[in-house]
């Protein structure tokens, strides 16, 4: 069975949550990355005003360790 997934805001949020699960966050900066807040307001995330899509991630200097999951490739505006 083939499933077609439209890439959009939901995909961006799911991609960021996959990233969160793949890294060790010693300073707990990703604690508030959850569905109770719009992902464009998450620490280190920049979104385009027009499309509300992730255009940049700035998490430098927080000692994150782990791997970058393949879902990060779904951030098509990054």
* Residue 19 structural domain: 8-74
70 lies in some domain: yes
By the 8 A CB rule, do 21 and 67 touch? Answer: no
CATH number, domain of 56, equals 3.80.10.10
**18 in any annotated domain:** yes
Q: How do residues 6-63 score in pLDDT, each as one tens digit?
A: 456 899 999 999 999 999 999 999 999 998 999 999 999 999 998 899 999 999 999 9
pTM as predicted? 0.86
3-class secondary structure per residue, the chain: CCCCCCCCHHHHHHHHHHHHHHEECCCCCCCCCCCCCCHHHCCCEEECCCCCCEEEECCCCCCCEECCCHHHHHCCCC
**How many beta carbons lie within 10 A of that of residue 23, not counting itself?**
17
* Structural domain includes residue 2: no
> Does a structural domain hold residue 3?
no
Give 61-72 pLDDT, tens digit per residue. 999 999 999 999
Domain count, the chain: 1
Task: Indicate whether 1 belongs to any domain.
Answer: no
**69 within some domain:** yes
């Amino acid at each position: 069975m083939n499933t077609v997934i439209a890439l959009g805001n939901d995909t961006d949020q799911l991609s960021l949550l996959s990233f969160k699960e793949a890294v060790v966050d010693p300073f707990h900066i990703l604690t508030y990355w959850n569905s109770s807040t719009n992902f464009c307001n998450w620490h280190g995330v920049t979104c385009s005003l027009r499309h509300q899509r992730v255009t940049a991630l700035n998490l430098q200097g927080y000692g994150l360790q782990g791997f970058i999951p393949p879902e990060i490739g779904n951030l098509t505006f990054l």
